[in-house]
Structure 1
Amino acid sequence: MAELPPRKRVDDAELLRALAHPLRSALLHHLMAVGPRTASECAEAVGSTASNCSWHLRRLAQHGLVERAEATDGRERPWRALQVGLDFGEPGEDPVLSRAQLAVVGTQLAQEQELTRRYLDGLDGLDPDWRVAGGLNSYSLRVTPAELERLVHAIDALVRPYVGAIREDAPAGALPVHLGLRAFPRLGPDGEPVS
């Protein structure tokens, strides 16, 4: 298999603040999940207006995250994501950068919660095969930092060939699917690691 394109490393506080905006984040993730779409199609998917989405898509384009794609029907040109994923790095010493990273993470957690709520609300209307295939699992592991890092990298290597923005061999019937992964030490109410 050919090497997969890397995620875009985001270590600029201004870009992180732009991505912390819930609508911009939703638009970018929608385009990464489903491919090129017009501002009107994006508006329907993210619950906004076409003009508002168009404005925010232009802001994302200024940061090099999306661009206009060729129109297939001669009408409105769709937008497409230029990235297959984003890497926000580890919180560092710079408090401005750390605050911006945390703002993006907060936005992403809210989006994951919204996608999960939509899934649960629409579960009864899903095809039975999709109901069986989905999963909401959580695990409590006991690992070292090195083991956790290896596990996260192994899961990433397993998942990346299926990333919608770069998968070219998706069979008929394949749909965009959300997969979230969080891996961190459990902290007690005092903020200290639980042993």
Structure 2
Amino acid sequence: MATEESRRIKDLDTLKALGHPLRMKLYRALQVTGAATASHLADQVDEAVSLVSYHLRKLAAHGLIVEADSRGGDARERWWQPADASISTRDEDFRDAPERVAVHTAVSRMHARQQSEMYESFLDTQSAWPGDWRNSAFSSEFMLSLTAEELHRLSDELNEVVRKWRAQGKAAREAGDVEGRENVAVHMYGFPFRT
């Protein structure tokens, strides 16, 4: 990562750049691998290298990814990495104009669909995972009665817990402790609803 900070996207052009489904998949793949070339990513997303390169340049133009140091091999290949440890958006940054609301809603829906597809893919293949991984995977739903401020504090606490575990996994990988480690997705939502 270029920084260990989280970036909150507030401008519409950057949100639109991220709002393309393939770009979101490429960004997510870079979050997992840390750094990759267009060729590596094209294999992961099953798209042409030229198309992947185009979308990587769009992400870079908005500062979402940056060039990484070459990892060897062909010196002509460009390596890319996420510019920040994570990204987020908030409704409050886009509610000042109808177009901004519509774009934020559309990008949020696309992101939620991709998260759902990731989980459904796990469900489709879970029998192929070893028992300890199947026993550790979870899906939880909690119905709480909170104020808006309490929901905000809950979000902050949950994000802090995830940041702690992300740092622990990163430190272990950097120390060469990769035995038994897999990429793990953690999706959390917290939102009001009425019955």
The aligned residue for residue 57 of structure 1 is: 56
Q: 8 Å contact 1:32–1:83 — kept in the other structure?
A: no
CA deviation vs aligned residue, 1:135-168 (integer Å, no higher than 9, x gap): 111121122222211111111111112337x933
Which sits farther off after the overlay, 118-127 or 82-91?
A: 82-91
Number of aligned residue pairs: give it. 184
- Using the TM superposition, give the Cα deviation of residue 33 of structure 1 relative to its aligned residue in structure 2, in angstroms: 2.1
Q: Evaluate the alpha carbon distance shift between residue 156 and residue 77 of structure 1 in structure 2; reply closer, same or farther with a 3 A threshold.
A: same
Segments of 4+ moved more than 6 angstroms: none
Q: Using the alignment, how far apart are the partners of 1:45 and 1:107 within structure 2?
A: 19
- Using the TM superposition, give the Cα deviation of residue 71 of structure 1 relative to its aligned residue in structure 2, in angstroms: 2.1
- For structure 1, the 5+ residue unaligned runs are 187-192
TM-score, normalization: structure 2?
A: 0.86
Q: 8 Å contact 1:15–1:63 — kept in the other structure?
A: yes
Which sits farther off after the overlay, 112-121 or 139-148?
A: 139-148
Partner SS state of residue 14, structure 2: helix
- For structure 2, the 5+ residue unaligned runs are none
The aligned residue for residue 6 of structure 1 is: 5
Q: Using the alignment, how far apart are the partners of 1:35 and 1:121 within structure 2?
A: 26
- Matches for 1:151-166 after TM superposition, within 5 Å: 151-163=154-166
Q: 8 Å contact 1:10–1:86 — kept in the other structure?
A: yes
- Using the TM superposition, give the Cα deviation of residue 29 of structure 1 relative to its aligned residue in structure 2, in angstroms: 1.4
- Using the TM superposition, give the Cα deviation of residue 90 of structure 1 relative to its aligned residue in structure 2, in angstroms: 2.3
Letter of the structure 2 residue corresponding to residue 81 of structure 1: P
- Using the TM superposition, give the Cα deviation of residue 5 of structure 1 relative to its aligned residue in structure 2, in angstroms: 3.6
Q: 8 Å contact 1:123–1:131 — kept in the other structure?
A: yes
Which sits farther off after the overlay, 121-130 or 56-65?
A: 121-130
Q: Using the alignment, how far apart are the partners of 2:39 and 2:128 within structure 1?
A: 25
Q: Which is richer in helix?
A: 2
Letter of the structure 2 residue corresponding to residue 175 of structure 1: E
Letter of the structure 2 residue corresponding to residue 57 of structure 1: L
- Using the TM superposition, give the Cα deviation of residue 178 of structure 1 relative to its aligned residue in structure 2, in angstroms: 0.8
Q: Evaluate the alpha carbon distance shift between residue 79 and residue 5 of structure 1 in structure 2; reply closer, same or farther with a 3 A threshold.
A: closer
The aligned residue for residue 48 of structure 1 is: 47
The aligned residue for residue 87 of structure 2 is: 86
Q: Using the alignment, how far apart are the partners of 1:9 and 1:181 within structure 2?
A: 17
Q: Using the alignment, how far apart are the partners of 2:68 and 2:11 within structure 1?
A: 26
- What's the Cα RMSD here? 1.9
TM-score, normalization: structure 1?
A: 0.86
- Out of 124, 145, 148, the position equivalent to 1:121 is 124
The aligned residue for residue 190 of structure 1 is: none
